[in-house]
A and B are shown apart, each in its own frame.
Chain A
């Protein structure tokens, strides 16, 4: 896309397998549309984990002055199609824009410190920028669950004792840079330090196995970092979130939480798993390694500052239900999703951008939604194209999504949502 204001952007896909070939293809495609990008976002599926070095060095050799960030995702939608195997790059150039990059290390061990390190770099990099509109695009490290000796990686452990031990073990994992992503803690600190920035992004991930994920910072590959691009420009930012989730009317109270709010130990004063089964009228046999084929459609939710926070019930360990991020209100309600409601949430979301001079769309969503609808993802692609026409966009499916809207004073790290950010000219 190239318009009169000098704004140029493109989203390019490679399906080559070798890192050098991917780099060559992407560089050629980008150069034909955006010769000197202000920045590049690069995302790949986990299939390319042995190709990152050659891929990144190949791209950076051709664009030495263009900062690059990115990471691994479960899948993505670009104008060209929908992919759960491939590499995608977004390149952007605009004269009225200053750009800098930031990185913060050890996000699982100390998210607050990582956010401080990242924010410091952004502030420093943009301290001389006179442009007033601020936007921060972030990529975090999502959840990583190790394969346990003998039992492997389990979603369900029915033994109460083993479940208790595994929950305790999971709690200690962050000290070793494994386990939950702690993205909500990162975001909270970033909002404190960069209150004037619209913040948008999500967590890197693998192919839904939760084993590993990677982040890219120029030509380097990391794990357990936050990488970000800070943008200062004359472009306005608009962000909208929709869900496609329905309230079922089933409500319950998490009367005992653990794992810093991430484990439900008791519901309505009773052991959590037993009580959930009773409330849902689910047979005990449902607790097997295919539980996700049920729980992906039935997330739980709570509201914080009026914003719906859907949570995936990720693991059932003894009597503990482990969720992806902190439950901050014990009054929970059960939600339901369907393929149709997920697809329809696209229309609802994108209608909000109709009357704006949108130049580019950054979109994030949860890999759970991708897993839920499978090949019907092409219906989402069709809907996006019908709304956005030729405006470039990139939709990433990761392990969670982050949003901060300064003029509304709200921020959230959530799952199972569709989040859209537009840069537009007034």
Chain B
């Protein structure tokens, strides 16, 4: 299976989790990869904004990546955006409700990022 297809399948598994509203992978070399199914996020304007702007964080985060940056959390009104760095210039973005049980979801975000790392062979 092609790399992007394998990543899509992994993201599909993550999106099936009840409180995961949307997820995608973005990176300089692979562009943006989304799951096959539609995001559950109802606020489409917000979804578009996140999709269009996330890559703009990379010029800043790359400097911190050298110091072990692994996650960034943004809290909006009703949602939390978790940016998980999979490698240099590549991140998994997950959107969950602000009152979700984040700890539990983070375990599966970690599993997803590990699988994607394996797919991209970014494991050190």
Contacts and interface: CB of A to CB of B under 8 A. Distances in A.
A371 B101 contact: yes
B99 A84 contact: no
A207 interface: yes
A282 interface: no
Contacts of B18: 47, 207
A17 B15 CA distance: 13
What are the 10 tightest A-B residue pairs by CB atom distance, in nearest-first order? A374-B106, A371-B103, A375-B110, A374-B103, A208-B101, A375-B106, A84-B107, A84-B104, A85-B108, A84-B108
A370 B107 contact: yes
A289 B106 contact: no
Contacts of B109: 375
Nearest to B106: A374
A84 to B, nearest CB: 4
A317 to B, nearest CB: 18
22 contacts: A17-B13, A17-B16, A47-B17, A47-B18, A74-B104, A75-B107, A82-B110, A83-B108, A83-B111, A84-B107, A84-B108, A207-B19, A208-B101, A209-B101, A371-B102, A373-B103, A374-B104, A374-B106, A374-B107, A375-B109, A377-B107, A377-B110
A207 B101 contact: yes
A372 interface: yes
B17 A83 contact: no
A377 B18 CA distance: 20
A84 B13 contact: no
Nearest to A292: B101
Interface in B65-124: 98-99, 101-111
A83 B105 CA distance: 10
Nearest to B12: A17
Contact of A207 (B13, B98, B104, B111): B104
A81 B113 CA distance: 13
Select the residue from A17, A85, A290, A367 with max chain B CB neighbours within 10 A: A85
Contacts of B13: 15, 17, 85
A267 to B, nearest CB: 27
Contacts of B105: 84
Interface of A: 15, 17, 47, 74-75, 81-85, 207-209, 289-290, 367, 370-375, 377-378
Contacts of B16: 17, 47, 85
Select the residue from B18, B19, B107, B108 with max chain A CB neighbours within 10 A: B107
* Main DSSP-derived SS at the A contact region: mixed
Contacts of A378: 110
* Main DSSP-derived SS at the B contact region: helix
B103 A81 contact: no
B99 A371 contact: no
A81 B101 CA distance: 20
Nearest to B115: A15
A371 B110 contact: no
Given A209-B101, A289-B99, A290-B99, A82 B17 contact: no
A375 B107 contact: yes
A83 B17 CA distance: 12
Contacts of B98: 290
A128 B107 CA distance: 45
Given A47-B16, A47-B18, A375-B109, A370 B104 contact: yes
A189 B84 CA distance: 48
A81 B17 contact: no
B104 A371 contact: yes
Given A17-B16, A47-B17, A81 B99 contact: no
Contacts of A367: 104
A208 B103 CA distance: 10
Contact of A372 (B17, B99, B103): B103
A370 B110 CA distance: 13
Contacts of A207: 18-19, 101, 104
A85 B13 CA distance: 9
B96 to A, nearest CB: 12
B15 to A, nearest CB: 11
Nearest to A82: B107
Given A83-B108, A84-B108, A374 B99 contact: no
A304 B7 CA distance: 51
B102 A374 contact: yes
A81 B107 CA distance: 10
Contacts of B107: 75, 82-84, 370, 374-375, 377
B85 to A, nearest CB: 13
Contacts of B106: 374-375
Contacts of B110: 82, 375, 377-378
